[in-house]
Structure formats: C-alpha cells, structure tokens
Amino acid sequence: MCLGIPGKIVEIDNASGITMGVVDFGGVRREVCLEYIADQVDIGDYAVIHVGFAISKVDEEEAKKAFEILQQMSELEELQWGSGEVP
C-alpha cells in the first residue's frame, strides 16, 4: 500500500463532484480517484496510484519500468484487492 503502482489513465469522469477515472495497470483496470492531480492529466497519461488514488503524474517509460520492477518484487498484489480474486 506504500509504493504506489503506475498505470495509464483510460477514462476520466467528473460526474460525481470529484474527478474519478479508470486506470489500466498492465491489463488490470481499476476505478481510481484522480482529484489530486486533476489539473495535470488527460486520458493517455500515466500516473502513480496509491490505494485507488493518483498522487503523481509520471512519463510512460518511467511508468513501464517501475511497473516491471514492482512485478519482479511481487508488489502488485494490491491490484487484486476487492476484485473477487481476493475476497
């Protein structure tokens, strides 16, 4: 829950009063809150997400590299939380 996982923003939705969106993490998609970086990002940008919240924007190559390292370290389990696989 501390390291944050980078992913690609594929949807942005302002309907609820705060900026939400969908982020793709190497094929796994999760709904996330984009409110804290709302003025910096567009669809197609990459961001580091902590427990469903985008905290910083990153560039694509940095995102891919960090994702790979987290994968090697088995630090991606968080993406399964609440998805049915880990009930």
Partner 1 sequence: MRYLSEYRDPKVARALVDEIAQTATRRWTLMEVCGGQTHTIVRQGLDEVLSSSVEMIHGPGCPVCVTPLEQIDRALHLASRPDVIFASFGDMLRVPGSECDLLQVRARGGTVKVVYSPLDALELARRTPNKEVVFFAVGFETTAPANAMAVWRAKELGVENFSVLVSHVTVPPAIVALLESPDNRVQAFLAAGHVCTVMGWEEYEPLAAKYAVPIVVTGFEPVDILEGILMAVRQLEEGRHEVENQYVRSVRHEGNRPAQDVIGRVFQLVDRQWRGIGMIPMSGLGLKPEFADFDAELKFGLGGITAIEPPECRAGDVLRGRLKPHDCPEFGVRCTPENPLGAPMVSSEGACAAYYNYGRYDPATADREA
How many CB atoms sit inside 10 A of residue 26's CB?
Answer: 16
Q: How many residues bind partner 1 (CB under 8 A)?
A: 40
Residues 21-80 interacting with partner 1 (rule: CB under 8 A): 30-33, 35-38, 48, 50-53, 55-56, 58-59, 61-62, 65-66, 69, 73-75, 77-80
Q: Give whichever of 14 and 83 is closer to partner 1, judged by the CB atom.
A: 83
CA atoms within 13 A on the CB side of 86: 7
Q: Which residues, 6+ apart, have CB-to-CB distance to 66 below 8 Å?
A: 6, 48, 58
Dihedral over Cα of 6, 7, 12, 13: its sign: negative
Shortest reach from residue 43's CB to partner 1, in Å: 20
- Binding pattern to partner 1, positions 3-22, x when CB under 8 A? xx------------xx----
